[in-house]
Copies of this chain bind each other. A is one copy, B any other.
């Protein structure tokens, strides 16, 4: 129909003839209106505003719609209303299994609420993240930021345009879902103290990571409480590789127990220590964070402070849905979810006690 017809069309703009406007399934409300003998706007109301149309007409229209195999055109709807029935999710790194569960949780509740999830990655860069966020913001009804790297102000700025939910970080004025690390860390540190450890080292994550800072805070204060020494070292990157690289410094620190920013670091560290002939947990105890997929594949399986990441994703999506449905509290409150220690084999009693 809308075909160029002219064969002289240029190359760069060419394509798609094969798929252009297939006959089927593109019935419009006008077709329905004609079939049902009513006005298009009546069709529109019947299909989206329950109760605005008499039961009889309603039925007539619904039947016609079913007959014609009608589906709304999302763009036509989005244009005047701005509603898209789509939620966006931006994660720092799709490779990082920490986000697996978040994605899954968000996708599940989005779908359950008849929304679709759009996914983008920021490659751990604040600039890329902001670009992706801005781009998405145009096409989604709400945006979830998982462990965002951009500044608080930038986040608040985004939140001024569309509902935004943040995971793994607390930003004033924006709805957040944050695992409350204290319980889990408390359990971990008490367990280490009970097993004869006196000095704990924390392997930090990326500097801009809000969560890494919270975890270090938590470790420090829990250690103080339990009369343990706590020192902190930095990592180059929050990956298995980064964990390997941290091994030397860990040994140099003289600590007998390690808490690391995440499980990936913990796993890398454990691999490297074991390769160097060090027994885990007999000589060094290792505790990770998050309980990611695969944390129990290691030998010994990794002890870790579990964050309910799937729940975080799901809650964040639910927050957006609530906001979009108008049933959300006025003030942006932070939702805290519990963390807990999952004791596996990588932590335990110190054998070669100091």
Contacts and interface: CB of A to CB of B under 8 A. Distances in A.
A304 B78 CA distance: 47
B20 A82 contact: yes
Contact of A136 (B116, B139, B267, B324): B116
A239 B21 CA distance: 41
A30 interface: no
Interface string A294-321: 1001110000000000000000000000
Interface string A94-109: 1101001001100110
A163 interface: yes
Nearest to A160: B22
A225 interface: no
A79 B82 contact: no
Pairs A-B, 5 closest by C-beta atoms: A15-B326, A294-B294, A299-B299, A14-B326, A297-B297
Contacts of A75: 75, 78-79, 84, 139
Nearest to A97: B293
A63 B121 CA distance: 30
Given A94-B103, A111-B120, A116-B118, 14 more contacts: A14-B325, A22-B161, A24-B161, A71-B138, A74-B139, A75-B75, A76-B79, A97-B293, A103-B119, A104-B121, A107-B120, A111-B121, A267-B297, A299-B299
Interface residues of A, number: 59
A56 interface: no
9 contacts: A21-B82, A74-B139, A75-B139, A76-B79, A79-B79, A94-B103, A107-B121, A116-B120, A116-B135
Contacts of A267: 297
Contacts of A323: 15
Q: Copy number in this complex?
A: 2
Contacts of A163: 19
A352 interface: no
B16 A324 contact: yes
A70 to B, nearest CB: 12
Contacts of A20: 82
Contacts of A108: 121
A95 B103 CA distance: 9
Interface in A1-52: 11-16, 19-22, 24-25, 49-50
Nearest to A326: B15
Contact of A94 (B24, B100, B121, B299): B100
A82 B17 CA distance: 12
Nearest to A10: B51
A117 interface: yes
A253 interface: no
Given A297-B298, A298-B298, A161 B19 contact: yes
A128 to B, nearest CB: 9
A154 to B, nearest CB: 14
Contacts of A49: 13
Contacts of A100: 94-95, 97, 100
A257 to B, nearest CB: 21
